[in-house]
Amino acid sequence: MKAGIVRFPGSNCDEDAFHAIADILGQEAVYLWHKDHDLQNVDLVILPGGFSYGDYLRAGAIARFSPIMQEVVAHAKRGGLVLGICNGFQIACEAGLLPGALLRNVSLRFVSAPVDLRVESIATRFTSQYHVGQIINVPVAHGDGRYTADADTLARLEAEGQVVFRYVSANGDASDAANPNGSQRNIAGIVNAEGNVLGMMPHPERALETALGSVDGIPLFQSILESLAGGVRA
Ligand SMILES: NC(=O)CC[C@H](N)C(=O)O
């Protein structure tokens, strides 16, 4: 697999993503500069976490106009894989690759903590190596993570199995107490209708090494590799 990690001005999890792909997974990784138009023939585009354009106006609202986003959108439309992590999820929503928006945390505070997630769907190219209902521990670090969408969109996401991860407490309940940011329906991650674009606020690239406290992100990347090995390429 060849993964391209887009660097926007203000990205700060780009090196984490590169480390995850190159050092942990042993796959090819390249950085993609946001002003470029060349995706370098990557199989997977990662929109990494950070504070693109300082989160001015709204997180992701300026980055979505970066030149490379035209190519990222075209790649997604061709069925190519896109993984938006944290700020990358915000950018993917702003770019129209995913429905809804990420608003300021209901606490008005930046939250940085490991959280428990329930895997809601394994019928995606990002989660086939988990099992439904599996509880995984993955860190979050954001100030604007409150997933919000209108009632019709939420109903469609639920009905079509597009809610992929939900914040839960240790017993697996999607309780208010387990919700770090006030997201509607405790939504932590969603996939698009076609199943090739995943956006999530937690950081799976920081959950691949025992030394970091969790290896629960590994099946996510294994799922991506599996789906590409199956011959599904853009
Ligand atoms: N870690 C991140 O990607 C931060 C995301 C975002 N800029 C926020 O604070 O909400």
At 231 the pLDDT is 58
86 is catalytic: yes
Q: Is the C-beta atom of 143 inside 6 A of ligand 1? A: yes
Q: Which of 34, 71, 86, 94 is catalytic?
A: 86
Structural domains in the chain, CATH included, are 2-230 (3.40.50.880)
Token pair belonging to 122? 């394994």
Pocket test for ligand 1, best of 47, 51, 62 (most atoms within 8 A of CB): 51
Closest CA to 59 of 23, 90, 88, 14: 90
Q: Is the C-beta atom of 130 inside 6 A of ligand 1? A: no
The per-residue pLDDT for range 41-63, each reduced to its tens digit, is 999 999 999 999 999 999 999 99
**What's the 231 CA to ligand 1 centre distance in angstroms?**
33
109, 144 contact by CB (below 8 A) = no
ipTM computed for the complex: 0.93
At 171 the pLDDT is 87
Catalogue the E-assigned strands of the chain: 2-7, 28-33, 44-47, 81-85, 101-103, 111-119, 135-142, 146-148, 163-167, 187-191, 197-200
Is the pLDDT at 38 greater than 80? The verdict is yes
- Which one-letter DSSP state was computed for residue 105? P
- Looking at every residue in the chain, the average pLDDT score rounds to 96
